[in-house]
Amino acid sequence: MNFEKYYFLFAIHNWEKKVAAKKDTRLISSKSSKKVLSGKNPDEVPICERYTLSIPEAAQYFGIGQVRLRSIIHANPNADFLLMVGNRLQIKRKKFEAFIDDMSVV
């Protein structure tokens, strides 16, 4: 009987370790993209210092809606501020800033 008691305590202890290990993992998924934008990770590069921005990040940085940003991209498919990384579209921040500076209406 004592063996069963210790085995039960050992199993609970191992289960607690597994649960704690799962809480420590920091996988970025589509559900946690809002956490990335909020900048809670101290090792993360701030949006204002990044070379490229995703569409949600660019919308937040420039104060333009995502729909309007996508329409600008659709109207300028060969612009030099666009960068395809695999199947993801990235916006070169400084070149897009220059593009916005030249525009009078967004």
Quote the pLDDT of residue 24. Answer: 47
Whether pTM exceeds 0.95:
no
Q: What is the model's pLDDT at position 14?
A: 55
Confidence of residue 27 (pLDDT cuts 50, 70, 90): very low
- Of 17, 14, 19, 92, the closest CA to residue 50 belongs to 92
Instruction: Answer yes or no: are the C-beta atoms of 59 and 100 closer than 8 Å.
Output: no
Which residues touch 74 (CB under 8 Å, ≥6 apart)? none
Q: Which of 100, 91, 86 is nearest to 52 (CA)?
A: 91
Which pLDDT does position 34 carry in this prediction?
A: 52
Architecture of domain 45-102: Alpha-Beta Complex (3.90)
